[in-house]
């Protein structure tokens, strides 16, 4: 965890509060005449996590990697490799870092002190901050920040988690506490209290159709070369890898093997004998000669994981596969050891082809249906089961699905995680518009020539920053860091993000096959029936756990307790009915399950923080 306090007028009482909340052994870096930075858990490696001089102070606990243009990746030295570039280019220099990272820099160029804070390019790591009357306090862990500033729940952010699965930057669950948006940096001047946020990375895309003279084989070879460069570097750390049996982790494991990585360990979370992905995880582990260490998760494990997810995750979001990740990572930490490097392979779908790329027509049709008509249909069908049970089929069910939400942009439909119009939510009418404006603001600033981009490009940007960054990559990062693991995501490093933008859409999705480039590359190592199978994904039996009386009672106690924040937005009777359906074994649709998990996780997380 990194953080700091900078000011124009020193508040000694506030500084004492920060220092008292930090653990013994915390490293402090003085920012001359303006405050200090702190670092709690520098990674045990040859890379120094900070640099300090009279003109510059820089701090990052993440693995900082140089660009791979020279033919190989290397560790970035802050003093010689980053700061000279920063002196020339300011915040634009953050884009020269290859890996996913968070960083704080205090500059005193020209005698004017300025603070720069950078969040991850496409991962989940953020720098969170709170502006004060005469300064700013910031931290890479929202939990810590909410210990030292007042924690008031931002109801609109909570609604965003229930609707979209996460709150869009810069919102957080804490009112007046904000996140530096993904791929952006914040510049703050303590003297006048002014701040500005700007992107340091923008997604770039080639022509919408396959360009003339495009060499498909050469493009695949470039993707392979980029992944192998990072595998060569990361393999030297004797990493642990979450080896799910899916395309992304299997291919990366093959490149670790090809680059003759030092001994590495594969880990998998199984849900028992009926787990459909377990045989594939075993198959790739056997192919690579890697012992697969398996943590088997049952109902008791789910009960423990619910508490661990709340305790170990630095912000709430809605993705119920957080439960098995929170169950698996303590198992990994216990066997891989403190300061182990953990490779997570989220990002492959988002960069190389995902289903929503094919859904433009469906979203346009849904968007063309008037919003008022949707609300009328939802009111008429609210007491039916058409909108919530998987067993509902036919034309009435399709009409019900058509009416579950209305967005201001057809690009946002695939982001919505809950049937908003059916849940009787109590929220001000302005919230939906405000949230959609925030989504568009960050997405547009992350795309080069954004107004001219087509559906696929704008959808890819949304997929990377609102699904991968805000939800999928969030499952492991802060949990791992809380346990002493260093989690890296090589599929969202800079060179991969640039290369994916050069691929035509008909290469990313070939004859309906999503993620075709990675699947084609994997053909060198694994048989076709492994690669092109129908994949169930990393989906825990959350619905089954909800049928268990003890588990159901536990989450019912969380959601329906007196004073629960979530019931200020969702009627308690709706939550009770859904939990009754789940206990009875009704096959609730995936969006309903994610909505329930978002409500459970958010309420538990809020309660945990407010009790501190």
Q: Which of 3-7, 219-223, 349-353, 590-594 has the lowest mean pLDDT?
A: 590-594
- What tens digit of pLDDT does each residue of 112-126 get? 899 999 999 999 999
Task: Give the DSSP per-residue string, 280-334.
Answer: HHHHHHHHHT-PEEEEE--HHHHHHHHHHHHHH-SS----TTHHHHHHHHHHHHH
At 45 the pLDDT is 67
Q: How far apart are CA 478 and CA 466, in angstroms?
A: 17
Q: 268: which DSSP letter?
A: E
Kind and range of the H or E run holding 178: strand 178-179
Across the range 500-528, mean pLDDT stands at 95
Q: How far apart are CA 2 and CA 275, in angstroms?
A: 39
At 47 the pLDDT is 80
At 211 the pLDDT is 60
pLDDT higher than 90, residue 461: yes
Burial (Cβ within 10 Å: 0-12, 13-18, ≥19) of residue 592: buried
Instruction: Please give the structure tokens belonging to residue 266.
Output: 């594969």
Q: Are 227 and 496 in contact (CB under 8 A)?
A: yes
At 32 the pLDDT is 84
pLDDT higher than 80, residue 569: yes
Task: Give the DSSP per-residue string, 350-413.
Answer: HHH--GGGG-HHHHHHHHHS-HHHHHHHHHHHTTSSTTTBTT--HHHHHHHHHTS---SSGGGG
Sheet with 27-31, side-by-side order of all strands: 27-31, 35-39, 2-7, 135-139, 128-132, 178-179
Tell me which of 110 and 128 has the higher pLDDT. 128
Strands 240-242 and 265-270: parallel
Instruction: Please give the structure tokens belonging to residue 127.
Output: 């720098």
Q: How far apart are CA 42 and CA 49, in angstroms?
A: 6
| Cα distances (angstroms) measured from residue 77 to each of 60, 83, 85, 87 | 11, 9, 12, 15
End-to-end C-alpha distance for the chain, whole angstroms: 19
- CA angle 569/324/258 to nearest 5° reads 130
At 223 the pLDDT is 96
- What tens digit of pLDDT does each residue of 275-301 get? 889 999 999 999 999 999 999 998 889
Q: Are 551 and 303 in contact (CB under 8 A)?
A: yes
Query: What is the residue-averaged pLDDT of the chain?
Result: 93
At 73 the pLDDT is 86
pLDDT higher than 70, residue 44: no
Across the range 575-587, mean pLDDT stands at 94
Furthest CA-CA distance within the chain: 70
Q: How confident is the model at residue 212 (pLDDT cuts 50, 70, 90)?
A: low
Q: Which of 199-208, 323-332, 513-522 has the lowest mean pLDDT?
A: 199-208
At 299 the pLDDT is 85
SS3 39: strand
Q: How confident is the model at residue 210 (pLDDT cuts 50, 70, 90)?
A: low
Instruction: Please give the structure tokens belonging to residue 364.
Output: 């346009």
Kind and range of the H or E run holding 86: helix 83-89
At 206 the pLDDT is 85
* CA neighbor of 49 nearest in space, from 159, 167, 129, 140: 140
At 612 the pLDDT is 67
Across the range 202-220, mean pLDDT stands at 80
Q: pTM (2 decimals)?
A: 0.95
At 69 the pLDDT is 62
What proportion of the chain, given as a percentage, has pLDDT over 90? Answer: 82
The residues facing 269 across adjacent strands are: 295
Across the range 537-555, mean pLDDT stands at 86
What proportion of the chain, given as a percentage, has pLDDT over 70? Answer: 97
Instruction: Please give the structure tokens belonging to residue 192.
Output: 């006048």
Task: Give the DSSP per-residue string, 504-547.
Answer: -HHHHEETTEETHHHHHHHTTTS-HHHHSSPP--S---HHHHHH
At 314 the pLDDT is 95
- What tens digit of pLDDT does each residue of 124-172 get? 999 999 999 999 999 999 999 999 999 999 999 999 999 999 999 999 9
Q: How far apart are CA 70 and CA 495, in angstroms?
A: 12
Q: Are 157 and 511 in contact (CB under 8 A)?
A: no
Across the range 464-488, mean pLDDT stands at 94
- What tens digit of pLDDT does each residue of 53-91 get? 888 999 999 999 987 666 678 999 999 989 999 999 999
SS3 8: coil
Q: How confident is the model at residue 449 (pLDDT cuts 50, 70, 90)?
A: very high
Q: Are 269 and 327 in contact (CB under 8 A)?
A: yes
Q: Are 87 and 57 in contact (CB under 8 A)?
A: no
- What tens digit of pLDDT does each residue of 344-375 get? 999 999 999 999 999 999 999 999 999 999 99
- What tens digit of pLDDT does each residue of 226-235 get? 999 999 999 9
SS3 259: coil
- What tens digit of pLDDT does each residue of 390-441 get? 877 778 888 899 999 999 999 999 999 999 999 999 999 999 999 999 999 9
What angle, rounded to 10 degrees, do the helices at 590-610 and 155-164 form?
150
* CA neighbor of 90 nearest in space, from 77, 74, 106: 106
Q: How far apart are CA 166 and CA 442, in angstroms?
A: 14
Q: How confident is the model at residue 273 (pLDDT cuts 50, 70, 90)?
A: confident
């Amino acid at each position: 965890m990194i953080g700091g306090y900078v000011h124009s007028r020193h508040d000694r009482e506030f500084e004492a509060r920060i220092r008292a909340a930090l653990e013994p052994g915390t490293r402090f870096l003085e920012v001359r005449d303006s405050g200090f930075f702190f670092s709690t858990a520098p990674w045990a490696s040859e890379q120094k996590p900070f640099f300090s001089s009279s003109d510059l102070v820089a701090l990052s606990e993440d693995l900082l990697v140089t660009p791979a243009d020279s033919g190989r990746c290397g560790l970035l030295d802050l003093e010689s490799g980053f700061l000279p570039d920063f002196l020339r280019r300011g915040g634009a220099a953050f884009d020269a870092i290859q890996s996913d990272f968070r960083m704080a820099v205090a500059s005193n160029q020209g005698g004017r002190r300025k603070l720069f804070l950078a969040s991850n390019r496409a991962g989940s790591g953020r720098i969170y901050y709170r502006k004060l009357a005469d300064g700013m306090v910031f931290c890479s862990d929202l939990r810590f920040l909410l210990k030292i500033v007042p924690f008031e729940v931002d109801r609109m952010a909570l609604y965003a988690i229930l609707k979209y699965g996460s709150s869009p930057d810069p919102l957080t669950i804490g009112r007046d506490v904000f996140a530096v948006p993904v791929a952006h940096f914040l510049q703050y001047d303590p003297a006048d209290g002014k701040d500005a946020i700007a992107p340091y990375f923008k997604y770039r895309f080639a022509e919408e159709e396959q360009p003339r003279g495009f060499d498909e084989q050469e493009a695949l070879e470039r993707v392979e070369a980029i992944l192998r460069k990072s595998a060569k570097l990361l393999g030297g750390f004797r990493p642990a890898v979450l080896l799910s049996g899916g395309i992304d982790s299997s291919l990366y494991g093959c490149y670790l093997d090809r680059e003759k990585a030092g001994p590495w360990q594969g880990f998998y979370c199984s849900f028992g004998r009926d787990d459909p992905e377990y045989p594939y995880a075993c198959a790739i582990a056997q192919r690579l000669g890697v012992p697969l260490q398996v943590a088997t998760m049952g109902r008791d494990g789910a009960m423990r994981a619910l508490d661990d997810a709340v305790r170990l995750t630095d912000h709430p979001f809605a993705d119920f596969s957080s439960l098995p990740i929170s169950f698996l990572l303590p198992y990994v930490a216990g066997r891989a050891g403190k300061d182990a490097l953990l490779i997570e392979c989220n990002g492959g779908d988002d960069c190389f082809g995902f289903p929503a790329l094919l859904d433009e027509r469906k979203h346009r049709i849904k968007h063309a249906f008037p919003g008022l008509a949707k609300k009328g249909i939802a009111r008429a069908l609210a007491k039916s089961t058409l909108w919530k049970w998987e067993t509902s089929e036919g034309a009435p069910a399709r009409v019900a699905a058509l009416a579950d939400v209305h967005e201001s942009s057809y690009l946002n439909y695939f982001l919505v995680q809950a049937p908003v119009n059916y849940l009787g939510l109590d929220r001000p009418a302005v919230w939906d518009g405000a949230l959609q404006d925030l989504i568009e603001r960050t997405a547009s600033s992350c795309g080069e020539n954004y107004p001219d981009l087509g559906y696929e490009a704008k959808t890819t940007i949304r997929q990377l920053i609102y699904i991968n960054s805000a939800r999928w990559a969030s499952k492991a990062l802060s949990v791992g860091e809380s346990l002493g693991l260093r989690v890296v995501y090589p599929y969202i490093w800079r060179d991969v993000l640039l290369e994916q933008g050069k691929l035509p859409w008909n290469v990313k999705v070939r004859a309906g096959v999503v993620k075709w480039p990675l699947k084609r590359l994997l053909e060198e190592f694994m048989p076709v029936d492994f690669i092109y199978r129908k994949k169930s994904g990393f989906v825990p039996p959350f619905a089954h756990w909800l049928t268990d009386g003890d588990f159901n009672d536990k989450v019912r106690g969380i959601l329906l307790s007196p004073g629960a924040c979530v019931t200020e937005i969702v009627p308690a009777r709706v939550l009770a009915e859904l939990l009754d359906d789940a206990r009875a074994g009704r096959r609730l649709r995936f969006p309903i399950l994610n909505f329930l998990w978002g409500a459970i996780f958010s309420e538990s997380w809020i309660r945990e923080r407010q009790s501190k």
